[in-house]
Amino acid sequence: MSIELLAQINKDFAALILLTSFGLLVQRRIYALLLIFAWQGLFLSISTAIVGFVSGMHHLYIAAILTLVLKVIFIPYILHVLIHRLQIYKEVENLTSLPMIMLIGIVLVIFSYHVTAPIRELSTLMTRSTIAIALATVMLGLLMMITRSHAVTQVIGFLAMENGLFFAATSTTYGMPFVVELGVALDILIAAFIFGIFFFHIRNTFDSLDMEEMTKLKEED
C-alpha cells in the first residue's frame, strides 16, 4: 500500500475517534458509554499501528499493543466488572440541554483547529492534520467531565482525555520517548485501581454514584 493511502486511512480513523468523542459526550446509558470508550481505544490503537508502519518507528507498535491491552481490554473489563458488581448497568443519566452541549463541543473542535494551526504549519509529518483532532478529543473529554455528574461517567471522560493526549503525542511527534509512554501507561493503570476503590467508597457512603449528592464542601458564608 502506498504511503498516501495509509495516510488517508489514518485520517479516517482520526475522524472515527472524533466521532466516538461526540458519542461519549451525548450517550446517557452507562453501559453504552463503556462500549463507545472501548471502540475509541481500538481506533486509537489501529491508528497508532498505522503511523508506526508508515514512519518506521517500531516503538509505536509496542505503544499500539499497550493501548490495545490497557484501554480496549483491561480498563473496560475492570469497568464492566465494577458496573456489574455495583449493579448500575441499567442506570441512565439525566442530561438536559443536549443541543447546547453538542454546540459547545463543535465550538471546541473549531477552537482546537485554531490553536494547533502553528503546529500544522511547522510540522512535516504525515499525521500533522490529525493534531487538531487530538486536542479536540482532550477538550471534549474535559467537557464531558464538566457536564456529567455520575462518577463512572467522569472517569470515562478522564480516560477519553488520556486517549486524546496519547493521540496528540502520536500525531505531533510520532510518539513520546518510550520511557515516558511507559510511565504514562503505568500512571493510568494505578489510576484505574484507585477509581475502582473509589466507586465502592462513594457507593458505601452516599448510596449512589451520582456526584450531585456531593455538595457538602462549599464556601460557607
Partner 1 sequence: MILLILLGVPLFSAVVLAFVGDRKFAPEINILGSAATFGAGIALSLQVYLHGPIIAGGKFFFVDAFSVYLAILTSFVSMTTAMFSRGYMRREREHGRVGKKGMRFYHAMFQLFISAMLLVLLTNNVGVLWIAMELATLSTVLLVSLYRTPTAIEAAWKYFILCGVGIAQALFGTVLLYFAAERVLGAGGEALLWTNLSMVSDKLEPTILSLAFVFLTVGYGTKVGLVPLHNWLPDAHSEGPTPISAVLSGLLLNVALYALVRCKVLVDGATGTHQAGYIMMGFGLLSILVAAFSLLRQKDIKRMFAYSSIEHMGIATFAFGLGGQIATFGALLHMLVHSLTKSSIFFTVGHACQMHDTQEMNKIKGLFRSNPLVGWGLMFGVMAIAGMPPFGVFTSEFLILTATMKDAPFLALLLLIGIGVAFAALFRRVIPMVAGPIPSIAKPLKAAHVPVILHLILVLLLGLYIPKFLAQWFHSAVGLLK
Which residues of the chain form contacts with partner 1 (CB under 8 A)? 57, 115, 118-119, 122-123, 135, 138, 142, 145, 151, 154, 158, 161-162, 165, 168-169, 172-174, 176-180, 183-184, 186-187, 190-191, 194-195, 197-198, 201-202, 205-206, 211, 214, 216-217, 219-221
By beta-carbon proximity to partner 1, the closer residue of 9 and 211 is 211
Place of cell 516503538: 59
Quote the least distance from Cβ 140 to partner 1, whole Å.
13
**Phi/psi-derived region of residue 218, left when phi > 0, alpha when psi is between -120 and 50, beta in every other case:** beta
- Shortest distance, CB of residue 117 to partner 1, whole angstroms? 9
Helix (H, G, I), strand (E, B) or coil at 75: helix
Beta bridge partners of 141: none
**CA-based R_g, the chain, Å:** 18
Give min distance, CB of 8 to partner 1, in A: 23
* Cα separations in angstroms, 131 against 20, 39, 95, 115, 202: 16, 20, 30, 10, 37
Nearer to partner 1, 99 or 118 (CB): 118
The single-letter DSSP state of residue 128 is G
Which one, 90 or 216, has the nearer CB to partner 1?
216
Least CB distance to partner 1 at residue 79 (A): 16
- Toward partner 1, which CB reaches closer, 43 or 150? 150
Cα–Cα distance, 191 to 163 (Å, whole number): 14
CB of 88 to partner 1, least distance (A): 16
Q: How far is the CB of 71 from partner 1 (least distance, A)?
A: 15
Residue placing its CB nearer to partner 1 in the complex, 77 or 178: 178
152: closest CA among 75, 217, 83, 95? 83
Interaxial angle between packed helices 151-173 and 178-206, expressed in degrees from 0 to 180 and rounded to the nearest 10: 170
If the CB atoms of residues 9 and 141 are measured against partner 1, the closer one turns out to be: 141
